[in-house]
Amino acid sequence: MTVSVVIPTYNRAHTVVDAIRSVLVQSFGDLEVIVIDDGSTDDTAGRIGALADARLRYVRGRHAGVSAARNLGVGRAAGELVAFLDSDDLWHADKLACEVAYLRRHPEVDVVFSDLEKRHGDRVYPSFMRQTAVFSRRLQSAAYPDGLLLEPREMRLCLLEEVPIKPSALTVRRRVFERVGGFDETWSSSEDWEFLLRLARAHRFAYLDRPLAVLFISPDSLHLVDQSRGETAMIRLLQRERVGLAGDAEGLAAVRRGLVRRTMHFAWHHIDRGRRVPAFRVFLHGFALTGDLGLLARALAVWVPRALQHPVGAQDGPLRVGGVGQHGDNLVGDGGYFVAGAAGTGPVQHQFLHSLAHHVKDGHGVACLQQVLGHGLAHDAQADKANLFGHCPAPQLRLGANASLVN
């Protein structure tokens, strides 16, 4: 059983050689390594050319993106199995041996993936899977020394909420890869998630509960250099998946939770950079897509004056507003502040916050909006009032161009 290892790379001469070496030292030896250079302009070719191993092939292609590079690699593959490795990640020496052994024992399984060790600068996370929001609940505190078989339905429901599978930890039977059509080259971001969602419609997965790969968060990772594009693609993908779920209550609930989670991450990205108007719009767009009152509350809370905020960890509990989502019912942001709460507030602030919660819980979006804007925008001379609602997707919240945004 030969394994074809496909490594796409673009201007990563400083890391790709280490990635290749981590494959060539595998304890499982029946393999070929296909490196697809996606039009690099650095010295990738020279560094790879210095490696002497008959199992290594270097293919230089035009700069067409990672999906095209992976598809090109699989098109050149001869193995029954195809494994992927990103050019800034590494494998442990027994990765392929563990995966091949499992697939030999389980011919009914088409896809296998493993845990990873995650490294982000000086921070090391021994188990990537147990850091996930959804798949970690499936694992709980148990161990699975013999692997965990996942039926298509279970895997797909998980993938409608999050993508716990990283390409560097993924191996698939080549006939199955070809059957589902490979990676969609029209997706320049979230292409792996899109591929996995198609794969999970009819194929069994198996999870190996060991960190067999090392995931590095590199400075040129998409979620660092262009998070807005990545988050937008993920939300668009989940919107597409929702269209095909009519009548599937469980699937619709899962994709709704996924949309709420991605909306919050996208908005927090803006909040952490001090971009309140884009964060506001993202929250409102998420509310329009899902009807989640927590997203509406967060949209409004973006404009709560800093004087009404207090740090996370205050001893008095935060004010609770129904339906917020991932962080329970608290209006809590990624930047470490409760934007609504009882602790540390005076009588006027306390009354304002409870009134805010009352309007949100009762669905009085406009009344809540007017109250927040009256308190918040009046204190923010830099707010872009003219464009604030320019692309608001929720008609019930849209104000006219001449409407007053402050009391």
> In tens digits, what is the pLDDT along the chain, a chain of 407 residues?
999 999 999 999 999 999 999 999 999 999 999 999 999 999 999 999 999 999 999 999 899 999 999 999 999 999 999 999 999 999 999 999 999 999 999 999 999 999 999 999 899 999 999 999 999 999 988 889 999 999 999 999 999 999 999 999 999 999 999 999 999 999 988 999 999 999 999 999 999 999 999 999 977 776 666 788 889 999 999 999 999 999 999 999 999 999 999 999 999 999 999 999 999 999 999 999 999 999 999 999 998 876 655 544 444 433 333 333 333 333 333 333 333 333 334 454 445 545 655 555 555 555 555 555 454 444 443 443 334 433 333 333 333 333 222 22
Instruction: Give the pLDDT score at 370.
Output: 52
Residue 37 — left, alpha, or beta (φ > 0 → left; ψ -120 to 50 → alpha)?
A: beta
Buried/exposed 186-197: b ≥16 CB within 10 Å, e otherwise:
ebbbbbbbbbbb
How far apart CA 77 and CA 41 sit, in angstroms, is 25
How far apart CA 87 and CA 158 sit, in angstroms, is 27
How far apart CA 181 and CA 202 sit, in angstroms, is 13
How far apart CA 117 and CA 64 sit, in angstroms, is 29
How far apart CA 339 and CA 347 sit, in angstroms, is 16
What residues contact residue 224 under an 8 Å CB cut-off, 6+ apart? 217, 218
Antiparallel, parallel or unpaired: β 320-325 and 328-330: antiparallel
278, amino acid identity? P
Cβ atoms within 10 A of the Cβ of 116, count?
28
- In degrees rounded to 5, what are phi and psi of residue 24? -65, -20
Handedness of CA 62, 66, 67, 71 (dihedral sign): positive
Handedness of CA 122, 312, 289, 371 (dihedral sign): negative
Strand locations in 218-319 (E): 310-311
- Site of tokens 């509960």: 209
Specify whether the CB–CB gap between 347 and 339 falls below 8 A: no
Instruction: Give the pLDDT score at 330.
Output: 34
Angle between helices 227-243 and 276-290 (to 10 degrees): 10
Instruction: Give the pLDDT score at 359.
Output: 57
Antiparallel, parallel or unpaired: β 3-9 and 31-37: parallel
Q: How far is CA 399 from CA 253, 302, 304, 396, in A?
A: 30, 18, 19, 9
Domains of the chain and any CATH numbers = 3-223 (3.90.550.10), 226-397 (no CATH)
Instruction: Give the pLDDT score at 253.
Output: 98
Angle between helices 227-243 and 191-199 (to 10 degrees): 20
- Site of tokens 């979620």: 223
Handedness of CA 295, 297, 299, 301 (dihedral sign): negative
- In degrees rounded to 5, what are phi and psi of residue 333? -110, 165
